[in-house]
């Protein structure tokens, strides 16, 4: 019993500690997170998978507030992939309710914190209630100048790249572009989210060491950080730990340091 109280106390105390020795001039501008492990978190407790998703929402809020506090400018959260439609309908339906639930609970506080909400992915296949909630949040935060909180929702990187190919093919066919115009910059500017810089740091929770069709183009030179912790267990300390590790890395981009 004493141990339980002690560990609870340590955990809560730790949550309130100042961000550990992060250098202020080397904060990653854009952090992207693959929020994985909700189902396994729930299974381990003998709970239905959806309880893991529900609990994971609290971690989204913790991560956003912590990112803001650390001084990260853009936080992209992988919330639903183009492949996640393969899951049982009940689970998909539940996941599609989460954005509106999250925003109903958190939007006011996010607005107070000057957070701007954005989305990348295909809105046209999302249920109308999901897209309505996202559109309202984007509209109400469009003039905010703080943290950009970008939700990847119905997002798949290969589809994103394929659509950029099609756009290029059409522009070539119509004569609007010549092959020489198709540069890396042109491609980067024609992916979904042109206003975001490439992620400096990618975090994946849940123990899997893969990208699962996430930002394949944009992650070319991102630093990768993996943790076995499940997404519902993620919080400020883990984000600070990932950023601290990022600050110890040397980014060479193929050159010499």
Active site residues: 36, 84
**Stretch of residues binding ligand IPE (CB under 6 A), selected from 28-36, 106-114, 172-180, 239-247:** 28-36
Tokens (6 digits) for 115: 């957070």
3 state SS of 170: helix
Interaction of residue 36 with Mg ion, rule CB under 5 A: yes
**Taking CB under 6 A as the criterion, which residues in 238-257 touch ligand IPE?**
none
Strand boundaries in 156-211, DSSP class E: 201-204
Q: Rg of the chain over CA atoms, in angstroms?
A: 19
Task: Check residue 66 for interaction with ligand IPE (CB under 6 A).
Answer: no
* 174 annotated as ligand-binding: no
Distance of CA 254 to the CA centre of its chain: 26
Binding mask 92-111 for ligand IPE (x = CB under 6 A): ---x----------------
Shortest CB 197 distance to Mg ion, Å: 27
Question: What is the C-alpha to C-alpha distance for residues 235 and 231, in angstroms, rounded to an integer?
Answer: 9
Does 208 interact with ligand IPE (rule: CB under 6 A)? yes
Query: Exposed, middle or buried by CB within 10 Å (0-12, 13-18, 19+), for 242?
Result: buried
What letter does residue 93 receive in the DSSP assignment? H
**Contact region with Mg ion (CB under 5 A), list: 34-42, 50-58, 105-113, 114-122:** 34-42
- Binding residues (CB under 6 A) for ligand IPE: these are 34-40, 78-81, 84, 95, 206, 208, 210, 212, 231
């Amino acid at each position: 019993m004493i141990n339980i109280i002690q560990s609870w106390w340590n955990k809560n105390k730790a949550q309130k500690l100042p961000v550990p020795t992060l250098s202020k001039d080397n904060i990653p501008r854009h952090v992207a997170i693959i929020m994985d492990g909700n189902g396994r978190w729930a299974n381990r407790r003998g709970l239905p998978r959806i309880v893991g998703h529900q609990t994971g929402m609290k971690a989204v809020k913790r991560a956003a507030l912590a990112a803001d506090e650390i001084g990260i400018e853009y936080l992209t959260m992988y919330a639903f992939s183009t492949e996640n439609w393969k899951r049982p309908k009940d689970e998909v339906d539940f996941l599609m309710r989460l954005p509106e639930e999250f925003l109903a609970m958190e939007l006011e506080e996010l607005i107070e914190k000057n957070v701007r909400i954005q989305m990348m992915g295909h809105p046209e296949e999302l249920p109308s209630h999901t897209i309505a909630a996202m559109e309202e949040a984007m509209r109400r935060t469009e003039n905010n100048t703080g943290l950009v909180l970008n939700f990847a929702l119905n997002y798949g990187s290969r589809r994103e790249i394929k659509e950029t190919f099609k756009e290029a093919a059409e522009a070539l066919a119509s004569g609007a572009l010549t092959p020489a115009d198709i540069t890396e910059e042109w491609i980067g500017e024609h992916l979904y989210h042109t206003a975001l810089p490439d992620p400096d740091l990618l975090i994946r929770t849940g123990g899997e060491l893969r990208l699962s069709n996430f930002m394949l183009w944009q992650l070319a030179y991102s630093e990768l950080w993996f943790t076995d912790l499940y997404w519902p267990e993620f919080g400020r300390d883990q984000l600070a730990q990932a950023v601290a590790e990022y600050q110890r890395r040397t980014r060479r981009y193929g050159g010499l340091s």
